Structure 1
Amino acid sequence: MVGVLLTLVAIGLVSYFVIKNYYPPIILLLLGLLLLFCAYLEGVPAVAPKASTNFFAFDFAQAFTNLLKGRLPGLGLNIMAIAGFAVYMDRIGASKALVKLCVKPLKAIRSPYVLLALTYVVGQFIALFVNSAVGLGLLLMASIYPLLVALGVSRTSAAAVIATTCCLDLGPSSSNAMRAADLCNMDVVTYFVQGQGPVALCTIASVAIGHFFVQRWFDKKEGALANKEDTKESALDVDKALEGAGPAYYAILPMLPLGLLIGFSPLVYKAIKLNLVTAIIVSLIIALVVDIATRRDFKQCCKDSQAIFEGMGKVFTSTVSLIVCAEMFALGLNKIGGISTMIQAAASIQNAGLFIMLIVMLVIMIVAAIVTGSGNAAFFAFSPLLPEAASSVGIPTLALAVPVQLSAGIARTMSPIAGVIIAVSGITGLTPIALIRRTIPVMIIAVIVSVTSSLIFL
């Protein structure tokens, strides 16, 4: 019982400090150390006897060292490689070229709400290659948002759809997907295709349909229809927003890593083995050669390649540090035993263990994501609990990991302090609360559909 109380207090403290805008990694690290100390007082060591420094205080630091050693060469390097590639694609105009290509078919659609639904689908497709919710939101606000308003969509509806375009953390480039695949002892491509794939398709369809009806209902209720002045002004902004885009064939470059990973995966061609980092390096070399051949300015192309390492360093200070510190917090939670107690209690309920366990994990993840405004922080803090939770009710970790992992990104889009919500609302002049009023109903539908489809397919 003490462990449960300490767990609830720790979660409450994390929520409080994140809401107050404290730096999340250091908060998670300090609370993790505090929990390890509480566990030590109860006779639970921070590390295994073989790895002990023979001094309990140093063992706390050793636990963190072990996490760093385990994450930097694997998951950490994967995430930094993806970030470096993404920043380089933005630097050479390949990301804008991809958006420009995807925007063209939308111009032919005249029904505002059909356009909204398809905009979400297109945005979620782009999210496979631009895996930052804030980055994608800003890119779409600069490019697709003016187009939507120019074609008769209300500003509020357009903002709501764009804010949700990265609500599902999908694909091998998603750090949450990498972590989930690691917990399931699966290759990330296999996790994406066999685990996320069928669930994501159902969820994407439900979000697109949800936006069609929800945004139309809100527009009618609030009278928030596009006016002629908005339409004329935004029509002029579309081409300006896509200035700096590379040639049309540059749109292929952001898709290279995913294409290589799927093409040389156990699902397609087994003879050649290709991991994520190697696929990124190959893609970077191809992109650099294409850029040099196109611009014929070797010095400038070399200078632009600096963006690769800038992106890697930036994501280390944000995402990788968050991952390791969140795992330190999760280690502390595991050591005090509160989460295990709650998991065992849920598992002991006859004939409802699976459903109760799923609800418990979903509630923890959704509340954490809404309170912190971060799908990554929530998932990395509590995802280490998934294997134990799944085994306690006798199901594969995949069946629990997919809906819980997807719920973290969905719940982030319901948070008024999420980066993408703040960014989109700031550009449109809306308040974050006004924006999430439009996103919450659709995201609730997304959670229900993702859970239901997970139970059916997994």
Structure 2
Amino acid sequence: MIGVVVTLLAIGLLAYFVLKNYYPPIILLIIGLVLLLVGGMLGNAPVAAKASTGFFGFDIAQAFTNLVKGRLPGLGLNIMAIAGFAVYMDRIGASKSLVKLCVKPLQAIRSPYVLLAITYVVGQFIALFVNSAVGLGLLLMASIYPLLVALGVSRTSAAAVIATTCCLDLGPSSSNAMRAADLCGIDVVTYFIQGQGPVALCTIASVAIGHFFVQRWFDKREGAKANNVNEKADELDVDKALAGAGPAYYAILPMLPLFLLIIFSPLVYKGIKLSLVTAIIVSLIVALVVDILTRREFKLCCKDSQAIFEGMGKVFTSTVSLIVCAELFALGLNKVGGITTMIQAAASMQNAGLFVMLFVMLCIMIIATIVTGSGNAAFFAFSPLLPEAAASVGIPTLALAVPVQLSAGIARTMSPIAGVIIAVSGITGLTPIALIRRTIPVMIIAMIVSVTSSLIFI
């Protein structure tokens, strides 16, 4: 019982400090170290992930050292490589070329609410290659938003759809997906295709349909009318927003890693084994050669390639540090025993054990995400509990990991302090609360469909 109280207190403190805008990694680190200390006092030693150093005080620091050493060569390197690739694609205009290519078909659609639904689907597709929710939101606000408004979509409806375009953390480039695949003991491509694939297709369809009806209902209820905006002027704004785009064939460059990983995976061709980092390096080489041949400015192209290492460094200070500190926090929760007690209580419910366990893990993930505004922080903090939770009710980790992992991205779109919500609402002049009033109903539909389809297909 003491472990449960300490666990709830730790989660409460984490929520408080994050809401007060304290730096999340250091808060997770401090609370995690305190939890390890409490776990040791409760007799749950050694607190280090491996062998003890011989001194309890050093064991606490050794636990963090072990996590850093375990994460940097694997998951940490993968995430940094993806971030470097993404920043380089943005620097040479390849990301904008992809968006420009996807925007063109939308200009032929004249029904505002059909356009909204298709915009979400297109945005979610782009999110496979532009894996920053805030970055994608800003890019779409600069490119697709003026088009939506020009075609009669209300400002709030357009903003709501754009804010949700990255609500599902899909694909090999998602750090949450990589972590989930690691926990399931499978490669990230297999996790993406066999785990996320069927669930994501159902959820994407439900979100698109949900936006069609929910935004139309809100617009009618609030008396929203078509915006009297000069369409030609807004199309010029779209062109201006995409002014830095590269040639049309650059649109294929952001897709190269995903194509390579799928083709040279156990699901397609087993003769060649290709790791995520190797696929990204190959794609970077191809992109650099294409850029040099296109622009014919060798010195400038080499200078732009600096963006690769800038992106790697930036994501280390944000995501990778967050991952390691969140895992220390999770280790601390495990050592005090509170989460284990709750998992065992859920597992003891014979027939309802699976559903209770799924409900408990979803509640933890949704509340943590909404409170912190970060799907990464919530998932990396509590995902280490998934294997134990799944084993306690006799199901594969994959069956629990997919709905819980997807719920983190969905819940992020319901948080008024999420970066993408703040960014989109700020540009449109809306309050974050006004924006999430439009996103929450659709995300609830997405959550229900995601969980239901997971139970059916996995």
CA distance in 2, matches of 1:236, 1:284: 32
- CA drift of 1:233 comes to 4.7
| 1:47 positional shift | 3.7
Corresponding position of 1:387:
387
Question: Could you tell me whether the CA contact under 8 Å between 1:46 and 1:63 is conserved in 2?
Answer: no
**2:71 pairs with 1:83:** no
Shift of 1:341: 0.2
Q: Deviation at 1:225?
A: 2.4
Task: Tell me which residue corresponds to 1:12.
Answer: 12
Counterpart AA for 2:289 = V
CA contact (8 A) 1:262 1:268 kept: yes
Provide the residue aligned with 2:220 in structure 1.
220
Output the CA distance in 2 between the equivalents of 1:223 and 1:203.
29
Of residues 329-338 and 43-52 in structure 1, the stretch that sits farther from structure 2 once superposed is: 43-52
Please tell me the residue identity of whatever aligns with 2:6. Answer: L
Q: Distance in 2 between matches of 1:452 and 1:8?
A: 28
The answer on whether the counterparts of 2:28 and 2:329 sit within 8 Å (CA) in structure 1 is yes
For residues 394-415 of structure 1, what are the alpha-carbon distances to aligned partners after superposition, in whole Å with 9 as ceiling and x for unaligned? 0000000000000000000000
Cα displacement string for residues 35-58 of structure 1 (whole angstroms, at most 9, x for unaligned residues): 000011111124469621111111
2:152 touches 2:225 (CA, 8 Å); kept in 1? Answer: yes
Cα offset, 1:232, TM superposition: 5.6
Supply the AA of the counterpart residue of 2:234: S
Contact 1:79 1:173 (C-alpha < 8 Å) held by counterparts: yes
Residues 43-442 of structure 1 mapped to structure 2, 5 A cutoff = 43-47=43-47, 51-229=51-229, 231=231, 233-442=233-442
**2-structure distance, mates of 1:230, 1:8:** 54
In structure 2, give the amino acid aligned to 1:249.
Y
Instruction: Give the 3-state SS of the residue equivalent to 1:129 in structure 2.
Output: coil
Q: How many angstroms apart in 2 are the aligned matches of 1:181 and 1:330?
A: 18
TM-score w.r.t. the length of structure 1 is 0.99
The DSSP-based 3-state class of the residue aligned with 1:51 is: coil
Q: Which structure 2 residue ranges, 5 or more long, are not aligned?
A: none
Distance 1:254 1:196 in 2: 21
CA distance in 2, matches of 1:48, 1:166: 37
Stretch of structure 1 that moved more, 265-274 or 42-51: 42-51
Change in 2 beyond 3 A, CA 1:168/1:49: closer
Deviation for aligned residue 1:181:
0.1
| 2:445 alignment partner AA | I
Q: Which amino acid aligns with 2:250?
A: Y
Deviation at 1:234, TM superposition (A): 2.6
Alpha-carbon separation, structure 2, partners of 1:235 and 1:257: 32
**Paired residue secondary structure (1:453):** helix
Which digits, 9 at most, give the CA deviation of each residue in 1:331-368, with x for residues without a partner?
Answer: 00000000000000001012100000000000000000
SS in structure 2 opposite 1:346?
Answer: helix
Given that 2:47 and 2:335 are in contact with CA atoms closer than 8 Å, whether structure 1 keeps it comes out as no
- Residue 31 of structure 1: CA displacement? 0.2
8 Å contact from structure 1 (residues 128, 173) kept in 2: yes
Equivalent AA in structure 2 for residue 372 of structure 1: T
Greater mean alpha carbon deviation, residues 21-30 or residues 37-46:
37-46
Question: Any idea what SS the aligned residue of 2:180 has?
Answer: helix
SS in 1 for 2:229: helix
1:448 matched residue in structure 2: 448
Note the C-alpha offset of 1:235: 3.0
Instruction: Give the aligned CA root-mean-square deviation in angstroms.
Output: 1.0
Structure 1 residues 47-56 or 318-327, which shifts more?
Answer: 47-56
Identify if the C-alpha distance between structure 1 residues 349 and 246 changes in structure 2 by more than 3 Å, giving closer, same or farther. Answer: same
Aligned mates of 2:355, 2:229 — CA distance in 1: 51
Moved over 6 A (4+): none
Say whether the 8 Å CA contact 1:136–1:166 is kept in structure 2: yes
CA distance in 2, matches of 1:236, 1:260: 36
C-alpha deviation, 1:73, in angstroms:
0.2
Deviates more, 1:306-315 or 1:139-148: 139-148
Q: 1:305 to 1:148 in 2, by over 3 A?
A: same
2: CA distance, partners of 1:52 / 1:414: 43
| Cα offsets for 1:304-338 (capped at 9, x unmatched) | 00000000000000000000000000000000000
1:19-30 pair list within 5 angstroms: 19-30=19-30
Q: Specify the code of the residue in structure 1 equivalent to 2:211.
A: H
Aligned partners of 1:405, 1:49: CA distance in 2, in Å? 24
Deviations 1:116-155 (A, max 9, x none): 0000000000000000000000000011111111111111
- 2:211, 2:93 → 1: CA distance? 30
8 Å contact kept, 2:40–2:47 = no
How many residue pairs get aligned? The number is: 458
Q: Deviations over 1:230-288 (max 9, x none)?
A: 65653331111110100000000000000000000000000000000000000000000
CA 59–214 in structure 1, closer or farther in 2 if over 3 Å, else same: same
How many Å apart are 1:228 and its aligned residue?
A: 1.4
Q: Which residues of structure 1 form unaligned runs of 5+?
A: none
Contact 2:150 2:229 in 1 (8 A): no
**Matched residue type, 1:280:** I
CA distance in 2, matches of 1:355, 1:302: 54
